[in-house]
Amino acid sequence: AQTVTQSQPEMSVQEAETVTLSCTYDTSESDYYLFWYKQPPSRQMILVIRQEAYKQQNATENRFSVNFQKAAKSFSLKISDSQLGDAAMYFCAYRRGTGNQFYFGTGTSLTVIP
């Protein structure tokens, strides 16, 4: 079974600074997708960024970027120029290429300090 590990239950960052959230996963598949989701307090879970395993280039979305290390099975999220609205629970997720099921990590709670 696939597992996704987020080893940092809580992180904090000063406003305007950069923070990196860690995620590792375990799989024997070669075709898969990785995701970072954001869940603000009392609000809906939304997709932050997505990475296809076959792509060597790291995905970026504005201030959000990933460091995808396929051999190490590592998928970290970097948030640059942190804003107060970035405060949320962040979940890393894995999906097999031909599968329906997502596997989620336990989440990292990010606090942004003004």
Partner 1 sequence: DVKVTQSSRYLVKRTGEKVFLECVQDMDHENMFWYRQDPGLGLRLIYFSYDVKMKEKGDIPEGYSVSREKKERFSLILESASTNQTSMYLCASDKPGYEQYFGPGTRLTVT
Residues that bind partner 1 (CB under 8 A): 6, 9, 33, 35, 37, 43-47, 50, 91, 93, 97, 100-102, 104-107
The answer to whether 39 and 91 have CB atoms below 8 angstroms apart is yes
Instruction: Give me the least distance between CB of 50 and partner 1, in Å please.
Output: 6
Minimum distance between the CB of residue 16 and partner 1, rounded to whole angstroms? 29
**DSSP percent split of the chain into helix, strand, coil, nearest 5:** 5, 55, 45
Burial 82-93 (b: 16+ CB within 10 A, else e): beeebbbbbbbb
To the nearest whole angstrom, how small is the minimum distance from the Cβ of residue 98 to partner 1?
8
Of the pair 62, 97, the CB lying nearest partner 1 is at 97
**Complex with partner 1: residue 9 or 18, whichever CB lies closer:** 9
Least Å distance between CB 42 and partner 1? Answer: 9
Rank residues 67 and 102 by Cβ distance to partner 1 and give the closer one: 102
The Cα–Cα gap between 63 and 72 comes to: 24
Q: How many Å from the N-terminal Cα to the C-terminal Cα in the chain?
A: 41
Of 71 and 104, the one with the shorter C-beta distance to partner 1 is: 104
